[in-house]
Structure 1
């Protein structure tokens, strides 16, 4: 499954604001967690993000990228705002779509899984003529994860544990909707391609950025070795040793001295 994951707003566009928060920051945090959960736990998943930092990108750039990528799904992550009085979670598909459409079927699954974990009032499943829903050539969904100007919702947005729960809800929905298989099926050996281990998280983040620029998905995993904290860059995980070795060579071709660990 090829996912185009779109944290809304960014750069010069902060999105909604309230309670000391900016939408662009909250949704980027959630989206990065979604990415890491997907590529760290499921087989045959690739995730392309519209942004991985605080950068400006137009709506047209986002949908054009997704269409050129040939993504299977477009998922846009947002927060809401409405004079401080509204609260809860809602999501959207395009207004022209029937409730029996494939997009609606996917949305029904994701909605159910997200609501299980986010602890927010369920405002329902809705439709709108948003650009990212209209101009994307694949099934698309936009989620509104609470109201940033509502004191109770904003208090949750400040909690890493809540943002992780929201991410897990999205990932559980994607796993159900696209029949994703967990890495290793929970048994046997797992071959992880490691593209570096660092004492500094900033250095590990730089390695991830470099790999992403080469089209290689990776993420930072914090591990404890002999009582010391290390930040390990994982660039793939496989149940098949040959597949792991093939990917290892792809990573090494970028000039990185990567290696495989078996778990």
Structure 2
């Protein structure tokens, strides 16, 4: 069972970047919850653990301590950017990152950019706590700019949030070599009818042919054999003779 640690940046008293009517902490939580749900629903042999699943504040040291204690195989810290400019997406690894962290960053970055399709600000390294203190391969993603109006407008769209989630899910699954769960085919539900009750559309006709003696009125819902057809035809001919 692979363990994936997803860290939703900021939270509680720490909103992160705030601009254009949105807060970073809300976006990171929404994306993190989406990654957990989609990864576990889509792939076998994976468990997603979260730094936070609600709007609470956590110190950075507590986040990495929990991820390390859990023995997570990878850690991804979710953030949104600020600082103006043209906006876009970028990712970070530690300045002295392991080869596995570099590989995770490359895989994640490529997958997210393929889904997001925005300005690529590149794969970068920086002395950030979340990627420095994590014992497993670790990457921090900066998903668009809160304070760039065009990016903020996109972050308000469900389709863009879905793209960010899908990019992270695809990148993590590719890096870990996860196997997709078999697709379950929905079998149509067949209702068993009561053979002793005629269908609504046939009620009037069934009463008519029963009253005239073509059928005995029992079991209107069962299939008819050729022998029974013969009996009905015989009764019909006698009925015609009588009328004639």
**TM-score, normalised on structure 1?**
0.68
How far apart are 1:187 and its partner, in Å?
6.7
How far apart are 1:188 and its partner, in Å?
7.4
In 2, the alpha carbon distance for the partners of 1:188 and 1:150 equals 44
Q: Unpaired runs of 5+ in structure 2?
A: 187-244
How far apart are 1:86 and its partner, in Å?
3.6
How far apart are 1:119 and its partner, in Å?
2.4
Q: Deviations over 1:185-226 (max 9, x none)?
A: x4779xxxxxxxxxxxxxxxxxxxxxxxxxxxxxxxxxxxxx
Match of 1:21 in 2: 22
Q: Deviations over 1:130-184 (max 9, x none)?
A: 1011111111000000010000000010011110111001101111111001112
Judging by fraction of residues, say which structure has more helix. 2
2:162 to 161, 164, 170: 164
In 2, the alpha carbon distance for the partners of 1:96 and 1:155 equals 35
Pairwise mapping of residues 227-246 of structure 1 onto structure 2 (< 5 A)? none
- 2:174 alignment partner, SS class: helix
Q: How many residue pairs end up in the alignment?
A: 185
Q: Unpaired runs of 5+ in structure 1?
A: 190-263
- 1:183 alignment partner, SS class: coil
Judging by fraction of residues, say which structure has more strand. 1
1:180 to 178, 181, 185: 178
Match of 1:248 in 2: none
Aligned CA-pair RMSD: 1.3
Regions of 4+ moved over 4 Å: none
Computing the radius of gyration from Cα coordinates, the structure with the larger value is 2
In 1, the alpha carbon distance for the partners of 2:154 and 2:73 equals 31
Q: Residues 141 and 14 from structure 1, CA distance in 2 versus in 1: closer, same or farther, beyond 3 angstroms? A: same
